Amino acid sequence: MNASTSAGSAASPGASSIVTIPLNDPGEGLTEAEILDIRVAVGDRIEINDAVVEVETAKSAVELSSHVAGTVVAILVAVGDEVPVGAGLLQVDTAGGPAPSAAPEASGGGAAPSADGTARPEADPSAEESAAQSTAAAEASASEEPKNLVGYGAGAAPARRRRRRAAPAQAEDAGQVPIDRILAKPPVRKLARDLGVALHDVLATGPEGTVTRQDVLAAQQRAYGGDIDGAYFPEESPQAPEGLGGAMKTTRDQPFSGVTSDERTTRVPIRSVRKRTAEAMVASAFTAPHVTVFNEIDMTRSLAIISQLRASREWADVKVSPLAVVAKALLVAIRRNPEVNGSWDEAAQEIVYKHYVNLGIAAATPRGLIVPNLKDAHLMTLRELAEGIGELARTARAGRTSLRDTRDGTITVTNYGVFDIDSGTPILNPGESAILGVGAIKEKPWVVEGEVVPRQVATLSLSFDHRLIDGALGAELLRDVSAVLEDPSLGLVWG
């Protein structure tokens, strides 16, 4: 009897009605993904395109949708699991029958006699057995997919979020709610996991019984004692914690992330966006020979135009930022120096010149640095650039950047001026030829027509791939960007 048949015997009369929903590659060449949230519970009725699981990919958090309708009979993963592509996530009875109240979490035989001869639910199989059964079920049901297969994947229509129902009491552990039914956001679950705190032991104080970050920290303090301030720092803060404080005690055999037993270091797993960013930066730094040139410029006229646009009723619904104006100046300069917009194809031993500009906008997000890009930015007006940059920033910070938005960039702008930094040497986004860095705009003394006057000054830095961009060409590009920002009227002449 295969896994699919076994699951079917536990949940429905026909084995063919049990379908395993696997982790599919949402489109970026994944081999595995981390489970951030499980949106359904055993017994839930789901429809086609309902979001069932949220995973973290190399670029963002992605909701995976169901390609079938039916009743959830088994959940094969847990929050925090690193799941390989192709592994089963959950199983659905497409016949629509209700799931047994004590259905096993992973597919297995239905019931087994207890010591007194009464029927009781079987214990959950081991993680290894669950993985093997889910893989077998996926293979067995591949040829039995129901006709309602549509739109499965990250690009499916937006799905409504379901509120989990209260879990029924378990026969062998009355009163304990399954871990996947406890209300807690993914970052809070991760915090509990990293600190070794069981969510079952946490006193929830949030709305509707939601476990909060403070609840987890309080539970750790009760368990280990002492002051835990600074014992953990969240994923969105890659820097070391400011304080030391008391720490979770661990053993050599216990894998963990958190403060070590001597309280001198904190260890955090390298995962998802941080891991992919590191790989990309190392590959770029040791593949393309970087050269960086700098130029200090007078941004006063550009800022005056921005102020005028912000005061205009026609632009009331658009946030015009200096970054949008810098992006427009860069596009004008690329038109004058099209050879900078290319890439080095080592395999083919060719330089690929591109007749379009997909303009990358480096964005610092809670999950790390990502670079979504505006497709065909060379065709955009200033208004369209401002709107596009604003939308990319909002989507990136919400962790919802689409895979399409991160692909096929040609040149990037990074704005470290928002951190009040004057200058830097940015590293190329892999596959691109240049990246323009924008420093903070500050009032400084400046010579204008022989007199020293206060002006709004910023430093631009341009890093480029010296294999295909010579120093003279890189300098020309930066000089043209600078010229347009110092005298925006040149954009009308050159653009």
The whole-angstrom separation of Cα 245 and Cα 263 is: 8
Residue 438 lies in a domain: yes
pLDDT for the residue 119: 40
Instruction: Check the CA dihedral 228-231-235-237 and report its sign.
Output: positive
Residue 179 in any domain: the answer is no
Examine residue 173 and state whether it is found in any structural domain, yes or no: no
Q: What is the DSSP letter of 419?
A: G
**Where does a domain end: 163, 195, 219?**
163
Residues 455 and 317 in one domain: yes
Q: Which domain holds residue 205?
A: 186-267
Q: Read out DSSP for 202-243?
A: ----SGGG-B-HHHHHHHHHHHH-S--TTS---TT--SPPS-
> Do 122 and 154 share a domain, yes or no?
yes
Strand 359-361 to strand 350-353: parallel, antiparallel, or no bridges (unpaired)?
unpaired
Residues 247 and 225 in one domain: yes
Residue 169: inside a domain: no
Identify any residues that bridge with 345 across adjacent strands, giving them in sequence order. Answer: 350
The CATH number of residue 111's host domain is 2.40.50.100
Label residue 303 left, alpha or beta by phi (over 0 means left) and psi (-120 to 50 means alpha): alpha
- pLDDT tens readout for residues 395-432: 887 777 877 888 899 999 999 888 899 999 999 988 89
How far is residue 334's CA from residue 412's CA, in Å, rounded to a whole number? 12
Sequence-distant (≥ 6) Cβ neighbours of residue 128 within 8 angstroms = none
177 assigned to some structural domain: no
Indicate the number of domains in the chain: 3
Q: Are 300 and 330 part of one and the same domain?
A: yes
278 and 330 in one domain?
yes
Please check whether residues 218 and 280 belong to one and the same domain: no
Q: Could you tell me if residue 168 is inside a domain?
A: no
In a shared domain, residues 15 and 150? yes
Bridge partners, 63 (sequence order): 54
Rounded Cα gap, residues 81 and 88, in angstroms: 12
Residue 308 belongs to domain with CATH number? 3.30.559.10
Give the residue ranges of the chain where pLDDT is below 70.
Answer: 1-16, 26-30, 58-60, 96-181, 194-196, 220-258, 272-273, 366-367
Distance CA 346, CA 411 (A): 18
Element (H, E) at 296: strand 290-298
Q: What is the DSSP secondary-structure string of 36-64?
A: EEE---TT-EE-TT-EEEEEE-SSSEEEE
Query: What CA–CA distance (Å, rounded) separates 394 from 398?
Result: 6
Residue 175 counted as domain residue: no
Active-site residue flag, 466 = yes
Catalytic residue among 290, 355, 378, 466, which?
Answer: 466
Q: Of 163, 178, 206, which residue is a domain's last?
A: 163
Query: Counting beta carbons within 10 angstroms of the beta carbon of residue 450, is it exposed (0 to 12), middle (13 to 18) or buried (19 or more)?
Result: exposed
Question: In the listed set 267, 298, 329, which residue is the last one of a domain according to the structure?
Answer: 267
Statement to judge: residues 245 and 324 lie in one domain:
no
Indicate if 101 and 154 belong to the same structural domain: yes
> Are residues 353 and 371 located together in one domain of the fold?
yes
Residues 192 and 300 in one domain: no
What pTM, to 2 d.p., does this model score? 0.56
Statement to judge: residues 128 and 56 lie in one domain = yes
Helices vs strands, H then E, count in the chain: 11, 23
3 contacts 129 by C-beta, under 8 angstroms: no
**Does any domain span residue 353?**
yes
- Categorise residue 493: left if φ over 0, alpha if ψ from -120 to 50, beta otherwise: alpha
